[in-house]
Chains A and B, each alone.
Chain A
Amino acid sequence: MSQIHVSTTINGDPAEFLCEPDETLLDVLRDRLGLTGSKEGCGSGDCGACSVTVDDRLVCSCLMLGAEADGRDIGTIEGLAEGEHLHPLQRKFLDHAALQCGVCTPGFLVAAKALLDHNPDPSETEVRYWLAGNLCRCTGYDKIVRAVLDTAAEMKGA
């Protein structure tokens, strides 16, 4: 089994890696590139903790091979803040206490950002359905949904 050489862009920076053909993008991010912000909660696309964007499309990095990343533009939780400036979603998650244990939080943030990029003024129902692929076991989702809606309101006003 020979490894595959992949050239890609991660959070705007060029990145290169070698991976096994059957290795997932999530494994590559975590184990080869040290980007452990994306979490593995299930490995089957059912929990969303590994959410990343690929060419601006929200996907589960556990359901994509590392080899498929060649030439793509990958966005992870590590790229959400700009330097020391948190993304408005990150600030609102903190203000609303929209996390308890915090392990699902990176996935929620990446997914919520994709939502707001796609629909800057979502209804509560639209937020809930967009985020249905992100499991949170601690919060009952209430404060997460409020944080996303509040971010949208703030960004709209800005």
Chain B
Amino acid sequence: MRYEAPSTIDQAVEILSQADGITRVLAGGTDVIVQMRSGMVEPDLVVDIKRIDAMHEITPEDGGFRVGAAVSGAQLGEHDGVKALWPGVVEATELIGSTQVQGRATMVGNLCNASPAADSVPALVTAGAIVSIVGPGGARREIPAYEVTTGPGKTSLEKGEIVESILLPARPARSGDAYLRFIPRTEMDIAVVGAGVALTLHPDGTCAEAKVALGAVAEVVLLVEPAASAIVGTRLEDEALDALAAAASAACRPIDDKRGTIEFRTKVAGVLARRAAVIAHDRARG
């Protein structure tokens, strides 16, 4: 295995695009190194992007924030601006692993690891986050966070491409977001179900717009349109929330595995979507 730690993103892209064999980008390393040690993957090349200064930055942009690919969960959690803007995204990212893991793990790594249970992804999806990708020759493109993961462990990134940053956009007035997950313990588990909700209210208090995303209930994070429509136009009365929960459960296509059953995930997806919607609603109302 070769280890490279370039100081610019152009160098990183260059090294990656010229490499043969199995390559991995190392940001926090909390997934990659575990996979290496367990023998799941034996990379020929690891490119550490933490020596690229810009990757560590959180910068304001058009009322939102651009978060560099090497920004750790702990660093994000300490940023009052991002926390105030998209608390659900920050909370979701902070749920990844322990304090120790937070010291290393990154939101971008969580996204690119492409686990269906990734905590930050439903929150990024509902926040409408935009992912900036750099490819060979410095070519840049931007895609919604929703389009990065294509299946378990699979992304839409091409050979030589690196995610440089994620733009968390400006948040409309009277809006709020929230993310909740279910785990058997209080910490240290992978989500059995995750639910992110972002919503915006009309001045009269009715819901103008909503997004509901679910994790760990399908091969990728699901954006559940019927669950969102169930609360649009309502004041999130019990009836509307019941409809949202039912729509969330109906959208699930989970598997039975060591972490949960189909029955359990389906039911709890509705429960969590409902609870997350209530928190997002409270936040939107200020």
Chain A residues within CB distance 8 Å of chain B: 1, 4, 20-22, 24, 43-46, 48, 51, 54, 57-60, 62-65, 67-68, 70, 111, 114-115, 129-134
Q: Which of B1, B46, B99, B101 contacts A63, CB < 8 Å?
A: B101
Listed residue (B1, B48, B98, B100) with the most chain A CB atoms within 10 angstroms of its CB: B100
B100:A133 contact, CB within 8 angstroms:
yes
Chain A to chain B contacts (Cβ below 8 Å), 11 pairs: A20-B1, A21-B3, A48-B100, A59-B103, A60-B104, A65-B3, A67-B48, A115-B99, A130-B99, A133-B98, A133-B100
Question: What are the residues of chain A within 8 A of B98 when measuring CB–CB?
Answer: 45-46, 48, 60, 132-134
How far, in angstroms, from A132 to B99 measured CA to CA in the complex? 8
Question: Which B residues touch A48, using CB under 8 A?
Answer: 98, 100
- B27-57 contact mask (Cβ, 8 Å, vs A): 1 or 0: 0011001101110000000101010000000
CB distance from B77 to the nearest CB of A (A): 11
**Are A67 and B5 in contact, CB atoms less than 8 angstroms apart?**
yes
Indicate if B18 sits at the interface (CB-CB under 8 A).
Answer: no
Verify if B74 is at the interface (C-beta below 8 Å from A). Answer: yes
**A residues within 8 A CB of B5?**
67-68, 70
Are A58 and B99 CB-contacts (below 8 A) given A22-B36, A67-B3, A67-B5? Answer: yes
Q: Is the CB of B30 within 8 A of A57?
A: no
| Chain B contact residues, CB within 8 Å of chain A | 1-3, 5, 26, 29-30, 33-34, 36-38, 46, 48, 50, 72, 74, 97-101, 103-104, 186-188
Least CB distance from B36 to A in Å reads: 6
Whether A4 contacts B3 by the Cβ 8 Å rule is yes
Q: Tell me the complex Cα distance, A51–B74, Å.
A: 15
In the complex, the answer to whether A68 meets B48 with C-beta atoms within 8 Å is yes
Q: Are A44 and B26 in contact (CB under 8 A)?
A: no
Q: What residues of chain B lie closer than 8 Å to A60, measured between beta carbons?
A: 98, 100-101, 104
A4-B3, A59-B103, A64-B33 known; A132 vs B187 contact (CB < 8 Å): yes
Report the bound CA distance from A141 to B108 in whole Å.
33
Asked if B104 contacts A63 (CB within 8 A), the reply is yes
**Distance from B73 Cβ to chain A, minimum over Cβ atoms (Å):** 11
Complex A-B, nearest 6 residue pairs according to Cβ-Cβ distance, in ascending order = A133-B98, A132-B187, A21-B3, A57-B103, A59-B103, A60-B100
The answer to whether A133 touches B37 (Cβ under 8 A) is no
- Shortest CB distance B99–A (Å): 5
Chain B minimum-CB-distance residue to A115: B99
Minimum Cβ distance to chain A for residue B98 (Å): 2
Q: Are A133 and B38 in contact (CB under 8 A)?
A: no
Beta-carbon contact of A22 and B1 below 8 Å: yes
Q: What is the CB-to-nearest-CB distance from B91 to chain A, in angstroms, rounded to a whole number? A: 13
Give Cα A33 to B46, complex, Å: 24
Known contacts A57-B72, A63-B34; is A51 also within 8 Å of B29 by CB? no
Contact status A59-B104, CB under 8 Å? yes
The minimal Cβ–Cβ distance linking B89 to chain A, given in whole angstroms, is 19
A44 lies within 8 A of B38 (CB): yes
Q: What is the CB-to-nearest-CB distance from A155 to chain B, in angstroms, rounded to a whole number?
A: 19
Since A45-B98, A57-B103, A115-B99 are in contact, a sample of 10 more A-B pairs with Cβ atoms closer than 8 Å, ordered by chain A residue number, is A21-B1, A58-B100, A64-B33, A64-B104, A65-B48, A68-B5, A68-B26, A132-B187, A133-B97, A133-B188
Point out the residues of chain B lying under 8 angstroms from A63, CB to CB.
Answer: 29-30, 33-34, 100-101, 104
